[in-house]
Structure 1
Amino acid sequence: MELLANLERGLQELDRQSLRRRLRVAETPCAPRMKVDGRDMLAFCSNDYLGLASHPRLVEALQEGAARYGVGSGASHLISGHSRAHALLEERFADFLSPHLESPRALYFCTGYMANLAVLTALAGHEAEIFSEELNHASLIDGARLARTGVKVYAHGDADALEQLLKASTATTKLVVTDSVFSMDGDLAPLPKMLKLCEQYGAWLIVDDAHGFGVLGQHGRGALEHFNLRSPYLVYVGTLGKAAGVGGAFVAAHATVIEWLVQRARPYIYTTAAAPALSHALMASMDIIDGEEGAQRRAHLRSLIGQLRSELNLQRWKLFPSNTAIQPVIIGANDEAMRAAKALYDQGFWVPGIRPPTVPAGTARLRVTLSASHTGPEVSQLASAFNLMEAFA
């Protein structure tokens, strides 16, 4: 078949450019020590920043939730799938972020991808204009495309360029959308400057805090707490499959914004609600994040970040300037990055190679992510392997 032949040629071209992705099979729970494709590995690749994905309290809560609520929700939220577990969790999120949002309410989604699609498509009308960060996550880019309205892209972290775009805009509704922590670089958006601009020019500031929620801030309230922000212009998206250790996402904002999403957000209205047991497990996750154990885990994670940065001694490769759990090592060429990833894998270290189109051409990298479940000796092992490998690369 010519159709299949076309696909095969496309796959061969991906191979030629060292761009073909590979699925690996994890046979044990998400943790630093895992069995992957039959091999024992030390993993530095998950987004399980606080080490909660296999926490005994969350496992017990998920089992309890399944016994109480069953396995599936059975319908969309607006039909009959909205359980008490969902409602309690949404109330918990609204209360948790009340220091940073005015008259807050929250809405739970099956995934972070769906939450971002929902916010952008529901809030952007025909006379709206979206101002999107250059390095935004694919879900925000796709949400802006699906909104079917004008989109302006501003340079990474450039608040001055954003101001010029806002100043020139005549749109009735303006939406500025950004990641908080950029998933491939680990740096933070200049949210205080951006919020000030949004308040000045009457724009929503939509913050995707996927990699900040639970990790940043004294209490784990994410980028809003980290920067001490509060405003009715904020629309906050928190992802729950990373630091929270379970799955799904939520949007928190002024109650009027959330009610509009309930009425107009197609990714919320037209999909089956997530299993209530997940929401029940997430309540246990929130207890940890907001408690003493969460504070201890965040402190340990910060110490591991500092340790890795001090022990890596790279000469040719570049450690990106990041103070978050995401620590990218920029290598450059696709083939060299993948050779380095394989060399680490052969030594028992699972560190993914990241290539275009996920990152710009010429910036292929190894993306190291740290977890509060890692130990100091494990981080030292990784740093030594990196230093030795680069010396002989």
Structure 2
Amino acid sequence: MQTPLDRSIETLARTGMTRFFLRMFDDAPELLLKNLTVEAVGPDRTFKIGGKWLRNFGSDSFLGLDQHPAVLAAIERGVREWGAHNGTSRAFSEVAPQGEAEAKVAAWLGTEDAVIYPSVTLANVGALPALTTRHDVIALDQYAHNSIEEGARVAKARGVRTAKFAHNDPADLDRVLRGLRPFRHAVVAVDGVYSMSGRLPPLTEFQRVARSHDGFLYVDDAHATGVLGTGGRGTVADALGDYENTLVVGSLSKAVSCLGGFVAGTRDAVEVLKMRSNSLIFGGPVPPPYLTAVCAALGVIGSAEYAGLRAKLDANVAALVSGATDLGFTVLGGLVPIVSVLIGTEERTLRAGRFLFDAGYYVQSVVFPAVPHGAGVLRMQVNANHSAEAVGGLIGALAELRETLPAQGHDSPLLVPAQREAVSA
């Protein structure tokens, strides 16, 4: 006999997104490289899945700090000194490494203060509602990260009006904000790097428009943290010169290779977040061993060693971009260590990912809903501890893949007009 829960799940299985995934599972289960179990890890970014060793080009530990001796030693020290977990909300207390890690983040970026959340998603979902009231508005880029969208939805449920503006379009941002009048303050939420396309936002122009509407910038710079900008500080400082009138969100789980996300800005803004951000108040903290690891990882990034890691990473990215472009692929990105090649439809993309998997290379086959319906890319995440041989081998596998693919179209929704013209030329 079916329960109400059973009937509810059955109904959800018939909805658009769930139906889309179930159809893929039914039609071509061998193509879906999802929910994989990694059985072991080896040197040179290798891992074992299903008894098969592969080169892993799906890791966002861009600098390879997840295997750095100083970071591993810091985690061990954190466990010995603080245990596995601090089981209380930060609303009541915090361990000393929490404040130390936040101070190091702020000092590294050059902001007054920073607050660390267990993830970037929890930062965005908690911070955007905390920074607004029903008298304010949030304008977000149409391609802003899903966690920004979720944060805006929570704020909207509390009475905050929200609207999207055309991707990377300051004029449309101005139009949207004019249409939302009257309001007290505006939050303009964008990504620092759009990970699927590799595009950067025009932050200077967005700042100008935001100020003209008594608004401020909120930049999710997760994909640039540690790998873009002077000293790895991301896109904001280099683009704007400072953090005035800007809050920056960054990741401690990608290039920093630990756990968590942060919001950095003025001391007053951080204090407001600590008092108003529900995902911080009603959620658990980052475990102490990871906080000690964050301090160690930022120490590496702030040392002379960082230049060598960044140079190796940049060389690997340049080699992959050049190799894929020479093969005739349309390459999206390359400014950060995420290199995507345009493949086409969902099925075509999944087949391409399976081809590379069988050739010994794991890359991410990205389809809807991460990209628009009908589009698909192979997303390759490059690390500083990939050898030149590994990168060259992936390019060789891409060459074999290219021979199996028919000519690709130039009408993908992932392309801006200039890219469509270049592909069709």
Retained in 1: the 8 A contact 2:71–2:296?
yes
1:34 to 30, 42, 47: 47
The structure-2 alpha-carbon separation of the partners of 1:207 and 1:5, relative to structure 1 and needing over 3 Å to count, comes to: closer
2:299 to 271, 287, 293: 287
- Give the superposition deviation at 1:228: 4.7
Retained in 1: the 8 A contact 2:321–2:334?
no
- Deviating beyond 4 angstroms after TM superposition, the runs of 4 or more aligned structure 1 residues are 4-9, 16-21, 313-317
- Give the superposition deviation at 1:136: 1.1
Kindly indicate whether residue 32 of structure 2 is the aligned counterpart of residue 12 of structure 1: no
Amino acid aligned to 2:77: E
CA distance in 2 between partners of 1:76 and 1:111 (Å)? 15
2:177 to 127, 150, 166: 166
Kindly indicate whether residue 66 of structure 2 is the aligned counterpart of residue 53 of structure 1: yes
CA distance in 1 between partners of 2:352 and 2:284 (Å)? 42
- Give the superposition deviation at 1:51: 0.9
CA distance in 1 between partners of 2:314 and 2:13 (Å)? 45
Retained in 2: the 8 A contact 1:186–1:325?
no
Retained in 1: the 8 A contact 2:114–2:262?
yes
Retained in 1: the 8 A contact 2:196–2:332?
no
The structure-2 alpha-carbon separation of the partners of 1:174 and 1:21, relative to structure 1 and needing over 3 Å to count, comes to: farther
CA distance in 2 between partners of 1:345 and 1:86 (Å)? 40
Percent sequence identity over aligned pairs: 28
> Could you tell me which residue of structure 2 aligns to residue 87 of structure 1?
99
Range with bigger deviation, 15-24 or 182-191: 15-24
1:358 to 351, 354, 370: 370
CA distance in 1 between partners of 2:26 and 2:87 (Å)? 46
The structure-2 alpha-carbon separation of the partners of 1:185 and 1:201, relative to structure 1 and needing over 3 Å to count, comes to: same
- Give the superposition deviation at 1:79: 1.3
Kindly indicate whether residue 201 of structure 2 is the aligned counterpart of residue 189 of structure 1: yes
Kindly indicate whether residue 224 of structure 2 is the aligned counterpart of residue 212 of structure 1: yes
> Could you tell me which residue of structure 2 aligns to residue 105 of structure 1?
113
Kindly indicate whether residue 344 of structure 2 is the aligned counterpart of residue 332 of structure 1: yes
CA distance in 2 between partners of 1:315 and 1:275 (Å)? 45
Amino acid aligned to 1:204: F
Kindly indicate whether residue 133 of structure 2 is the aligned counterpart of residue 125 of structure 1: yes
Gaps of 5+ in 1: none
- Give the superposition deviation at 1:21: 6.7
TM-score normalised by structure 2 residue count: 0.86
2:36 to 24, 47, 56: 24
RMSD: 2.0
CA distance in 2 between partners of 1:313 and 1:294 (Å)? 28
1:300 to 304, 312, 330: 312
Q: Alpha-carbon deviations, 1:281-313, whole Å to 9, x = none?
A: 110000011111112111211111211122224
CA distance in 2 between partners of 1:16 and 1:155 (Å)? 36
Spell out the pairing of 1:219-368 with structure 2 (5 A cutoff): 219-313=231-325, 317-368=329-380
Q: Alpha-carbon deviations, 1:37-61, whole Å to 9, x = none?
A: 3211101111111111121211110
CA distance in 2 between partners of 1:334 and 1:91 (Å)? 44
The structure-2 alpha-carbon separation of the partners of 1:21 and 1:33, relative to structure 1 and needing over 3 Å to count, comes to: closer
- Give the superposition deviation at 1:250: 1.1
1:200 to 209, 212, 215: 212
The structure-2 alpha-carbon separation of the partners of 1:343 and 1:273, relative to structure 1 and needing over 3 Å to count, comes to: same
Spell out the pairing of 1:63-74 with structure 2 (5 A cutoff): 63-74=76-87
- Give the superposition deviation at 1:316: 6.3
> Could you tell me which residue of structure 2 aligns to residue 44 of structure 1?
57
CA distance in 2 between partners of 1:186 and 1:157 (Å)? 12
Spell out the pairing of 1:142-161 with structure 2 (5 A cutoff): 142-148=150-156, 149-161=160-172
> Could you tell me which residue of structure 2 aligns to residue 371 of structure 1?
383
- Give the superposition deviation at 1:28: 3.0
Three-state SS of the structure 1 residue aligned to 2:38 is coil
Amino acid aligned to 1:292: A
Retained in 1: the 8 A contact 2:33–2:354?
no
The structure-2 alpha-carbon separation of the partners of 1:147 and 1:5, relative to structure 1 and needing over 3 Å to count, comes to: closer
Amino acid aligned to 1:40: W
Range with bigger deviation, 240-249 or 38-47: 38-47
CA distance in 2 between partners of 1:5 and 1:206 (Å)? 39
CA distance in 1 between partners of 2:133 and 2:342 (Å)? 39
TM-score normalised by structure 1 residue count: 0.93
Retained in 1: the 8 A contact 2:192–2:236?
no
Three-state SS of the structure 1 residue aligned to 2:66 is coil
- Give the superposition deviation at 1:27: 2.5
CA distance in 1 between partners of 2:118 and 2:379 (Å)? 26
Retained in 2: the 8 A contact 1:216–1:226?
no
Range with bigger deviation, 166-175 or 7-16: 7-16
- Give the superposition deviation at 1:20: 6.4
CA distance in 2 between partners of 1:321 and 1:43 (Å)? 19
- Give the superposition deviation at 1:165: 2.2
Retained in 2: the 8 A contact 1:312–1:384?
no
- Give the superposition deviation at 1:29: 4.5
CA distance in 2 between partners of 1:147 and 1:91 (Å)? 28
- Give the superposition deviation at 1:70: 1.1
CA distance in 2 between partners of 1:187 and 1:162 (Å)? 17
Amino acid aligned to 1:343: F
